[in-house]
Structure 1
Amino acid sequence: MASMARDLLAQESVDATLERITASATELVDGCDAAGILVLHARKVETLAPTDGLVVDNDRLQGELREGPCFDIARRAHGERVFRIADLTGEQRRWPAYAPAAHALGVGSMMGFLLFTDDEDLGALNLYSRKAGAFTEAGELAGWLLASHAAIAFSSARTQAQMEQAVATRHTIGEAMGILMGSHHLSEDQAFGVLRRYSQENNVKLREVARLICEQGGLS
């Protein structure tokens, strides 16, 4: 587990971090056949780093039905941060549409863990077994420890990616301003004003305007 935590923080991108998280779940948690991360965007369900098609199919099912354990924990419907379901066939009262449909997909038992930091909820790490009763208390503890490390690594990787994008955007804007200043004899403030006006008048993000100028050598 300690080696896994160091490995997560060493990944070079958000995608690589997420893929290592879900792969670690199948390696470290007894009974885990597949894993994935479910994220909610408004009313849309997104599946990240699935290790098996079963994960994608199950998340799509929950999104379509608007019910299910992963869906609930990702939106904290009952304030829960962890769930463990020994047998889906016994959960038709809680999820009358989802439980039988998921069982038909091949889901026997499940566990889920909210990925969160002090500042934000990031989604839910969900673990699947094709057998009923596959997950034990020890497996739940291992999953919880993994999820705790995973949330920190996920948040850190995303923050790093956002910082790198911000630096790249600033560089592109600076390069575009330099092109305008040189070709039209503008001051720095005037060049930025041109970028901003074009962005507002054409409803195009500032970084996209800058990218166009860098590629075309100016604005048409």
Structure 2
Amino acid sequence: MTNAPTSRPDEPQTSLAGALAALARDLQRGQAPDDVTAQAVASAVALVPGAEEGSVSLVRSRRHVVSAAATSDVARGFDALQESVGEGPCLAAMFSEPVVRTDDLAEDTRWPRLGARTDELGVRSMLSFQLFVHENTLGALNLLSSKPAAFDDEAEGIGAMVAAHAAVALAGAQKFDHLRMALVNRDVIGQAKGILMERFKVDADQAFALLTRVSQDRNVKLHVLATELTRTGSLER
């Protein structure tokens, strides 16, 4: 008699672990911050049960909400709606709570102004995770559904893991981007110094001092001034 196939109760967990591991590898491949953000949102929507749309929202100077990445106009519009009414799960996640979950925005008393307008975009339930707080910029990963009570404890747990991977990868990508820009700026400043050394027969220190003085006099950043000089051959307006 042949044995019937045995069930594998650990398969979903194994599959999820593999998906999260793949996500971590993909997000750490030295991509630009915008690419990391877009991939994180798409992966979160694909991995978290109940998620239909998603976005990564940023608040700059604690006032302006912008969508750094969004899977649709609905998700992007919902970020704009939260900025318009000045409240919502996304803002709560960024300013006060690491994780915010609501089963029905239309009935949630925490955000009455938002709840009164959720029918405009057809969003009923939502999960928001704080990604980072850096100087004057705050970030959150948001998952949306058109159905009430779309997210349960399992969805919240998976979402938290995806958000953790996204936060680490995005922080790394931003540092990489800053480093890349620093190297670019260093190179262009070096080129500008070379132009001044050749033109005025001065050494490197004197050329740099001249660039610095003109930068201060014109109130222009040094790398911007150096770019102008290498492009036009002149420091005049």
The whole-number CA distance in structure 1 between the counterparts of 2:21 and 2:156 is 17
Q: 1:6 aligns to what?
A: 25
Matching residue's letter, 2:102: I
For the 8 Å contact 1:117–1:152, the answer to whether it is kept is no
Backbone CA RMSD of aligned residues: 1.8
1:90 is aligned to 2:110: no
The whole-number CA distance in structure 2 between the counterparts of 1:123 and 1:131 is 25
> For this pair of structures, how many residues does the alignment match?
216
Shift of 1:73: 1.4
* 1:21-74 residue CA offsets vs partner (Å, 9 max, x unmatched): 000011101111111111111111121110111111111111122111101211
1:200 is aligned to 2:220: no
1:49 is aligned to 2:69: yes
Shift of 1:110: 0.2
* 1:81-138 residue CA offsets vs partner (Å, 9 max, x unmatched): 00111111211x2112111212331101100001138999851000001111111111
For the 8 Å contact 2:125–2:145, the answer to whether it is kept is yes
Shift of 1:167: 0.8
Of the structure 1 ranges 31-40 and 119-128, higher mean CA displacement relative to structure 2 is found in: 119-128
**TM-score, normalisation: structure 1:** 0.93
Bigger-Rg structure (1/2): 2
Unaligned runs of 5+ in 2: 1-19
1:177 is aligned to 2:196: no
Of the structure 1 ranges 9-18 and 170-179, higher mean CA displacement relative to structure 2 is found in: 9-18
Shift of 1:10: 1.6
1:36 is aligned to 2:55: yes
Q: 1:157 aligns to what?
A: 173
Matching residue's letter, 1:65: V
**TM-score, normalisation: structure 2:** 0.86
Shift of 1:2: 1.1
